[in-house]
């Protein structure tokens, strides 16, 4: 419902929420001016259960938004390892559970859905958090949601990545999207606890795809900066290392909003 007064036009704000196993972030933007009005984030040192995530999410939303009526549109991005890509040629909607059961433990209460990743002519089959979806629907009404990996692939294709590796990092897991001559070769996610775990999985993936760490360009995004251990590990073994850059020229920040656009470009890209 739009917030209106007698002489003021409706506030047309969009709320995007990135929900990961180890934290979440909120971004409120004005749909007409493309200005970010508010940004908040919370990270955890360990992966949370869906129940704990919902508990923390409720507290954060209650403190962050006093007038949810001002939110005209809500979009949610889920970042977890409960997904798999299926080419359109082999996809049948009736078999969603079958696509996931070989690499994910599926509970009887799990809801399986999919994104249409048009950029690679495939479907991303995944498990969102039903309890969080139910809460957000009760709070804001109808909304859209998709998986983090779908967004990463779409952004990578939009940036015309050729033979490159894109790593999107969270505090306890990361997504690896790898292209060769513009074609997707791999999209997978890995849980890690230490920087040694992190670099092990990166180098293992490169080895499996026969990619030389001294030759292949690697782009990073998310919760990673030059000052942290994961970046230091990468720079030790990877010769061509840089941050993944997207076009943020149309986005501006309100006066009291502070956000590192490089670290959070994934959620900011939704505006």
Place of tokens 């009005």: 37
- For 23-37, what is each residue's pLDDT tens digit? 898 888 877 777 777
In the chain, pLDDT over 90 holds for what percent of residues?
57
In CATH, 160-244 is 1.20.1300.10: no
> Is residue 78 a contact partner of residue 40, using CB atoms and an 8 Å limit?
no
DSSP string, 150-195: HHHHHHHHHTT--SEEEEEE-SSEEEEEEEETTEEEEEEEEE-SSH
Predicted local distance difference test score (pLDDT) of residue 140:
87
Predicted local distance difference test score (pLDDT) of residue 103:
82
Measured CA to CA in angstroms, residue 130 lies from 75, 85, 170, 244, 267 at distances of 15, 20, 22, 31, 21
- State yes or no: pLDDT of 232 exceeds 50: yes
Q: Compare 76 and 41 and report the one with higher pLDDT.
A: 76
Predicted local distance difference test score (pLDDT) of residue 255:
55
- For 157-185, what is each residue's pLDDT tens digit? 988 989 999 999 999 999 999 999 999 99
Q: Which residues contact 252 (CB under 8 A, 6 or more apart)?
A: 33, 34, 35, 36
Stretch 125-144: mean pLDDT: 93
Q: Compare 72 and 250 and report the one with higher pLDDT.
A: 72
For the chain, the domains span 83-120, 160-244
Tell me, what DSSP letter sits at residue 240? S
| Half-sphere exposure at residue 112, Cβ-oriented, CA atoms within 13 angstroms | 20
Stretch 81-94: mean pLDDT: 95
Instruction: Supply 20's token pair.
Output: 């990961």
pLDDT-based confidence at residue 69 (cuts at 50, 70, 90): low
- State yes or no: pLDDT of 269 exceeds 50: yes
């Amino acid at each position: 419902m739009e917030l209106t007064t007698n002489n003021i036009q409706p506030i047309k704000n969009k709320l995007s929420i990135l929900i990961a196993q180890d934290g979440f972030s909120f971004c409120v933007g004005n749909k007409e001016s493309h200005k970010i009005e508010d940004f908040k984030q919370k990270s955890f040192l360990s992966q949370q259960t869906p129940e704990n995530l919902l508990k923390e999410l409720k507290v954060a939303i209650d403190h962050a938004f006093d007038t949810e009526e001002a939110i005209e549109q809500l979009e949610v991005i889920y970042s977890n390892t409960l997904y798999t890509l299926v080419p359109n040629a082999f996809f049948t909607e009736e078999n969603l559970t079958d696509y996931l059961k070989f690499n994910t433990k599926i509970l009887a209460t799990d809801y399986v859905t999919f994104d249409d990743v048009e950029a690679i002519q495939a479907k991303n089959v995944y498990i969102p958090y039903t309890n969080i979806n139910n809460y957000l629907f009760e709070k804001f009404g109808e909304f859209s949601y998709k998986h983090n990996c779908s967004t990463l692939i779409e952004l990578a294709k939009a940036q015309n990545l050729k033979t490159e590796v894109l790593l999107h990092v969270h505090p306890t897991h990361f997504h690896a999207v790898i292209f060769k001559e513009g074609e997707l070769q791999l999209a997978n996610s890995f849980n890690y606890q230490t920087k040694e775990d992190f670099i092990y999985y990166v180098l293992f993936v490169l080895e499996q795809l026969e990619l030389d760490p001294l030759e292949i360009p690697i782009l990073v995004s998310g919760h990673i900066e030059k000052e942290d251990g994961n970046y230091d590990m990468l720079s030790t073994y990877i010769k061509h290392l840089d941050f993944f850059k997207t076009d943020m020229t149309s986005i501006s920040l309100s006066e009291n909003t502070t956000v590192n656009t490089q670290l959070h470009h994934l959620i900011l890209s939704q505006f």
